[in-house]
Chain A
Amino acid sequence: MKAFISVAFFALISCIATAQQENLKATYLYQFAKIIQWPDLGDSFTIGVWGESEIGSVLEVIAKSKKVMSKDLVIEKVNDVEELASCQIIFLPSASVSKLSAVIGASKSFDLLIVTDGSGLVSKGAGISFVDVSGKVLFELGKSNMAKNGLISVKLLERLAHKVY
């Protein structure tokens, strides 16, 4: 009996925590889009989400009511590096971090913020990576990685980042 209740209780907590983390990460992505100064923007601002991710769904909700620098926010599901050219931000969920090197290689010719989910990924070339710190969602910043992708990190990001590389 106790074991069943415990399992159910932790399932409940897990459901809530997962939903909050997805919301947080999606909101972070939206905030990054607003804060960073983008060299060239077209008619819209596109955040790409690699593969299947609930964050993409949350971003879709955000895109319905929010704009980035007065431009429509577009969320695209990306499955191939060929699709990156239309994105300003690409988010690689933890299940897709194996694609990081391919994304870095493909994005050398245009301005792209690569955001990953997991620790140690900034050292592998991500511009920003979400990290779990005692159950909280914070982010690490790769200044030089952003510079390689034609982006300049803003002071605010440097101040708020959990670690800056």
Chain B
Amino acid sequence: MLRSIRVINPDDSSSRAVVCAEDMHLRSVKKAEIGYEPSFLICMCIHILKLINNELMKIIKTDYRRILQLSICVILCFFGKTSAYAQEELDLDELLEMDLEKIVELQSAGRGDVGSFGYRLGTSNSEFQVHGYVTNEFINQQGSPKTFDNHYYNLLLGSQIGDKIFAEIQLEYEHGGEEIQARYAQIDYRVSKGLIFRTGKFLVPINTFNEYLYPEYINKAISRPFMNRNITPTAWAEVGVQIRGSFELSSTLNGFYSAYMVNGLEGTEGGDIRGMRGNNRDKNNGDKAIGGRFGVNSNKLELGTGVYNGKYSSDGLYGLTIISMDAGYLADGLTIRAEYSLTNMETSTEDISRNGASATISYVIAKKLEPVFRYDFMNWDDPSDPAKDQSRIYLGANYLLANTMNVKAGYEIVTNEGTDVEDNIFAIQLALGF
């Protein structure tokens, strides 16, 4: 914009008027382009503030209580609106990151609503499972009173979130007693079929029996082999971390593996391994036990071997190694299983080597009746008490009421080395998995 240049006489009022008019015009252009001139704004603000201040002082002097109330309201509303806008932006970003299920979950159970963690989790994308197994028995053992036994009523509670996360706990309610304990309580995260992370308290993958076969609705015999009580003491669970998985070796053969690090067994020097379980938190030493299992399986055959190694004494001086091997063959109603385990337990004198084995064969007749034969033994390696070396023949028959329910009747002929103690057992068992 061109601006006329004129010689201005300071005494000429008409000239001053022209300059002012031109100056005002220029200011209006500036306002349109860059806003108000700062000095002008500041002057206006100061003037307005003075007016407000004067009026406020008058009001405050006459009605200070009302002003105080109004101020609190204004402050609260200001912060309310500010936080509302802040919340609005935050919530929208968060909401947009969620899927519809998560949004509905948040809406279905929130603050001031019914229920608690269980209810709120119940609205999430998870599937909850309640299962369990029951074992009721009548036992007639030589030298002992006949008794009924509500051996187990164990609950299996689990949840699956998507196809990757699996949580499960087994709550054991044994012999109708009052104590309930967790046999295992684990979380699995499946990266792929070949890689699964497991944490928590989990069954030690030492052999097939401990991980897959011990519940009575699956186990063919009424009792467990000696070996699975005192060498690899089922149910044997430890607290730690594990990786596991399976992979295809051929069209008919799969491989599987597991490797773990756990707090490990802990007990007295040369003691009973069964009594070393339950070291859920390391309190005496920080030594960790390691182990693993690997094997192959097909539709009919399974072979595996597991190992465990760690310090077992409270002072962390003495180590324990357990090796277990197992084999299974299943075809057309025929089941053959065998397991062998041996241990090497360090002591202050000489190492103790215990071992045991079991072999079971059964055959399903007419889809309902299943005769069972088992032989098992255990060598305790204690010359001072040879009776701890035991062997047993089990003869029995199972009637299959359903896939996961059977009635068993069995007779056990027990041999205790070096003694003539007779403690044969006749027992009837009803086992149900649900």
Residues of chain A whose beta carbon lies under 8 Å from any beta carbon of chain B? 1, 4-5, 7-9, 11-13, 15-16, 18-20, 22-24, 26-28, 30-32, 35, 58, 61-62, 65-66, 133-138, 156-157, 160
Contacts and interface: CB of A to CB of B under 8 A. Distances in A.
19 contacts: A1-B65, A9-B76, A11-B76, A12-B76, A15-B84, A16-B84, A26-B92, A27-B95, A30-B96, A31-B99, A61-B92, A62-B96, A66-B96, A133-B107, A134-B112, A138-B108, A156-B101, A160-B101, A160-B104
B85 interface: yes
B107 A156 contact: no
B76 A24 contact: no
A16 B83 contact: yes
Contacts of B101: 156, 160
A12 B87 CA distance: 12
Given A23-B91, A27-B92, 15 more contacts: A1-B69, A4-B73, A12-B76, A16-B80, A16-B83, A24-B91, A27-B95, A27-B96, A28-B100, A62-B92, A66-B96, A136-B107, A136-B110, A160-B100, A160-B104
B366 interface: no
Contact of A15 (B80, B99, B108): B80
A145 B295 CA distance: 57
A156 B70 CA distance: 50
B107 A24 contact: yes
Contacts of B92: 23, 26-27, 58, 61-62
A12 B78 CA distance: 9
A23 B98 CA distance: 13
A30 B73 CA distance: 37
User: Which residue, of B70, B85, B87, B110, has the highest number of chain A Cβ atoms within 10 A?
Assistant: B87
A8 B78 CA distance: 10
Nearest to B84: A15
Interface in B254-300: none
Nearest to A32: B100
Contacts of A12: 76-77, 79-81, 83-84
Nearest to B123: A160
Interface residues of B, number: 31
Contacts of B70: 4
A8 B74 CA distance: 8
A16 B110 CA distance: 15
Contacts of B79: 12
B103 interface: yes
Nearest to B79: A12
A11 B77 contact: yes
Nearest to B105: A160
B65 to A, nearest CB: 8
Interface string B58-79: 0000000100111011001101
B88 interface: yes
B72 A5 contact: yes
Q: Which 3 A-B pairs have the closest CB atoms?
A: A12-B80, A8-B76, A15-B84
A24 B103 contact: yes
A8 B73 contact: yes
B113 interface: yes
Contacts of B85: 19
Nearest to B114: A134
Given A5-B76, A12-B76, A156 B100 contact: yes
Given A31-B103, A138-B108, A23 B77 contact: no
B80 A138 contact: no
Contacts of A4: 69-70, 72-73
B40 to A, nearest CB: 35
Given A31-B99, A31-B103, A19 B87 contact: yes
Contacts of B107: 24, 133, 136-138
A35 B100 contact: yes
B111 to A, nearest CB: 9
A141 to B, nearest CB: 12
A48 B107 CA distance: 24
Contacts of A7: 73
A26 B95 CA distance: 10
A28 B100 CA distance: 7
A46 B69 CA distance: 48
Contacts of B98: 27
A20 B113 CA distance: 17
A28 B101 CA distance: 10
A26 B103 CA distance: 12
Interface string B300-326: 000000000000000000000000000
A149 B85 CA distance: 37
Interface in B116-145: none
